[in-house]
Amino acid sequence: MADFHQGGVITTLHRLGRTDVHRLERELVSYADTRPIALVLPCLHSELRDVALKGIIETLKGVPYLRQVVVSVSGAERREQFDELRDAFEGVRTLTDEPATLVWNGGPRLRRLYEKLRTEGLDPGDDGKGRSCWMAYGYVLASEASQVIALHDCDIRDYGRELLARLCYPTANPLLDYEFAKGYYGRATDRLYGRVTRLFMTPLLRAMKSVIGSHPLLEFIDSFRYPLAGECSMALDLARINRVPSHWGLEIGVLAEVYRNCSLRRVCQVELVDNYDHKHQELSEADASRGLHRMVLDITASLIRHLASYGVEFSAGFLNTVTSAYVRIAQDAISSYGADAALNGLSFDRHEEEVALETFSRALRAGGLGFVRDPMGAPPIPNWNRVSAALPEFLDELLEAVRDDAKA
């Protein structure tokens, strides 16, 4: 039986049977005049060696409806590294037969622009996915060619045209009129993946609700089946007004901004594919600066700061209570996932799950205490409205810098 259940406070768009990808793509081409789509790809130079990126590039060569493809490049400090990526995307063409645009975040022109922002008191944060996405959004705004932005990572190993078409459709179809769509999917092969969502995010949201009580922001985030998914699409105006975190808390920060700036009836989640595989981060239980350990620290800080902005008070004692509730709920979740794995004949290592839980609980407490010591923390990147108000010429300078990098 297909799953058509609607739960939470947002609309869920399900994958009910096999998708007719050609029908979706024909419709997206027909919407291209009124809702042209820009695809933003935050991309590390190191991903050039990964089979996942090569598969994404080959797939994009056949996509017929994109007005822009904007690749925001990080980890390329030398010109030859940037050129390698530019050459890799050479065959990707848009609806108007334009090549993909590469934004060279590590290049001298953009470094000068970052310094200009800092001089004006508009700190763009450190190099990372958040800043990479934010600068790509700025380029799309400056070019004035698209009305919808779709975003996904470059490490998807089983990427296909169905995933992209379903991601774009809710916000590109003017009859549906959604401003924001978040992707979701299954995460299982011979075992269950999605550890940060399964063992941290969902138990933490429910632990906080058990301690704080019902809170609109918690209910909103908990309505998403995969709140940490990196795939989303949005109306262009959201890219202009949303503030973007520069760290691993990006996805939660984006959801909090969407909650602040959108009507709930214009937000949805869309099932992209039956199953999804990408590069799996190491747990890094002994090193809080890397892997899932670092991710959970940043997610904790982002969630707590957004709740505090709505008047929720956090103290060391309160954090102890939340952490205890989280551990209990996560332990129950491990038992549930073990039963699910057994029924489906999947490998399930209870010890590894418990080690992840212990690591995440330490990160939760450390991230919470970090907020208590420094409630302001690292501010999100200013939104593009503020940048344009302070530096009216900045978007034009960004457009020129990206085009000059392409010519060089």
Domain-located, residue 257 = yes
Domain total for the chain? Answer: 1
Q: What CA–CA distance (Å, rounded) separates 234 from 179?
A: 5
Domain-located, residue 373 = yes
Q: What CA–CA distance (Å, rounded) separates 255 from 380?
A: 13
User: Which residues, 6 or more positions from 357, have their beta carbon under 8 angstroms from its beta carbon?
Assistant: 199, 327, 330, 331, 334
Domain-located, residue 5 = no
Residue with the two structure tokens 């800092």: 118
Angle at 117 between CA 111 and CA 123, to 5 degrees: 100
CATH number at residue 385: 3.90.550.10
Domain-located, residue 370 = yes
Q: 395 vs 110, 119, 132, 221, 240, CA distance in Å?
A: 12, 16, 15, 32, 12
The predicted pLDDT at position 18 comes to 87
**Closest by alpha carbon to 218, among 189, 248, 171, 252?**
252
Domain-located, residue 238 = yes
In SS3 terms, the chain reads as: CCCCCCCCCCEEECCCCCCCHHHHHHHHHHCCCCCCEEEEEEEEHHHHHCHHHHHHHHHHCCCCCEEEEEEEEECCCCHHHHHHHHHHCCCCECCCCCECEEEECCCHHHHHHHHHHHHCCCCCCCCCHHHHHHHHHHHHHHHCCCCEEEECCCCECCCCHHHHHHHHHHHHCCCCCCCEEEEEEECECCEECCHHHHHHHHHHHHHHHHHHCCCHHHHHHHCCCCCCCCCEEEEHHHHHHCCECCCCCHHHHHHHHHHHHCCHHHEEEEEEEEECCECCCCCCCCCCCCHHHHHHHHHHHHHHHHHHHCCCCCCHHHHHHHHHHHHHHHHHHHHHHHHHHHHCCCECCHHHHHHHHHHHHHHHHHHHHHHHHCCCCCCCECCHHHHHHHCCCHHHHHHHHHHHHHHC
Q: What CA–CA distance (Å, rounded) separates 201 from 197?
A: 5
Domain-located, residue 1 = no
Q: What CA–CA distance (Å, rounded) separates 202 from 223?
A: 10
- What residue numbers bound the domain in which 290 lies? 11-407
Digit-by-digit pLDDT tens for the chain (408 residues) are 457 889 899 999 999 988 899 999 999 999 999 999 999 999 999 999 889 999 999 999 999 999 999 999 999 999 999 999 999 999 999 999 999 999 999 999 999 999 999 999 999 988 889 999 999 999 999 999 999 999 999 999 989 999 999 999 999 999 998 999 999 998 888 899 999 999 999 999 999 999 999 999 999 999 999 999 999 999 999 999 999 887 778 899 999 999 999 999 999 999 999 877 767 789 998 888 889 999 999 999 899 999 999 999 888 888 999 999 999 999 999 999 999 999 999 999 999 999 999 999 999 999 998 888 887 777 789 999 999 999 999 999 999 999 999 987
Q: Which amino acid is at 385?
A: N
User: Which residues, 6 or more positions from 26, have their beta carbon under 8 angstroms from its beta carbon?
Assistant: none
pTM for this model (two decimals): 0.95
Q: Which amino acid is at 113?
A: L
Burial 235-273, CB ≥16 within 10 A → b, else e: bbebbbebbbbbbbbbbbbbbbbbbeebebebbbbbbbb
Domain-located, residue 2 = no
The predicted pLDDT at position 237 comes to 96
Q: What CA–CA distance (Å, rounded) separates 61 from 103?
A: 19
Q: Which amino acid is at 191?
A: R
